[in-house]
Amino acid sequence: MVEVGGGVRERVLASFERQGLMVHLGARIEHVGAGEVRIVLPRRPEVTQQHGYFHAGATSSIADSAGGYAAFTLFPEGTSVLTVEFKINLLAPAEGERLEAVGTVIKPGRTLTICRLEVFAATGEDRTLIAAGQQTLIQIEARPER
């Protein structure tokens, strides 16, 4: 995976750092490429459900952000991104040291962009696909981020 250059990467990281939910969950961006972003969520009791698996809400949230920022890497400066819709299938219980969400643009557009979403549960080098989905995003004129 090839990293993107300074301006795009900095825009993505600055926006990500303003996302209260990602900060609250303890998620971090691990890779920013043209049309691809990977977000990692370390295991903590606060992101699990009653059986000890990662919660579907945490899984879905990092998948949504990974796809959104993957699209954002292809948007021109002075624009922003919002999710229009997404669907995610939970394929297996999410067990491991961390989750890795990968958002990949499969159809860029001037207004709407479509992304593939994949979430892996990982321990060490072992990764298991535990969720897969698709997302539609809209490019909008930049709005102030808080």
Q: Distance (Å, rounded) from C-alpha 10 to C-alpha 99? A: 23
For the chain, how far is it from start to end, CA to CA, in angstroms?
A: 30
Run of H or E residues at 8: helix 6-17
- Domain for residue 146, yes or no? no
Nearest C-alpha neighbor of 30 from the set 126, 138, 103: 103
Is residue 1 a part of any domain in this protein? no
pLDDT score, position 121: 98
- Distance between CA 84 and CA 51 in Å, rounded? 31
Is residue 133 situated within a structural domain? yes
Total structural domains within the chain? 1
Residues 6+ apart with CB under 8 A from 42: 26, 97, 98
Q: Does any domain span residue 25?
A: yes
Give residue 143's pLDDT.
75
State residue 119's pLDDT score: 98
- pTM of the entire predicted model: 0.94
Confidence at residue 144, expressed as pLDDT on a 0 to 100 scale: 67
In a domain? residue 79: yes
Q: What is the pLDDT of residue 2?
A: 65
Whether residue 86 lies inside any domain: the answer is: yes
Residue 10 in any domain: the answer is yes
Q: What is the pLDDT of residue 146?
A: 64
Domain holding 127, by residue range, is 6-141
Domain contains 116: yes
Q: What is the pLDDT of residue 1?
A: 55
What is the domain-level CATH number for residue 88?
3.10.129.10
Intervals of the chain under pLDDT 70: 1-3, 144-146
Which pLDDT score is estimated for 142? 79
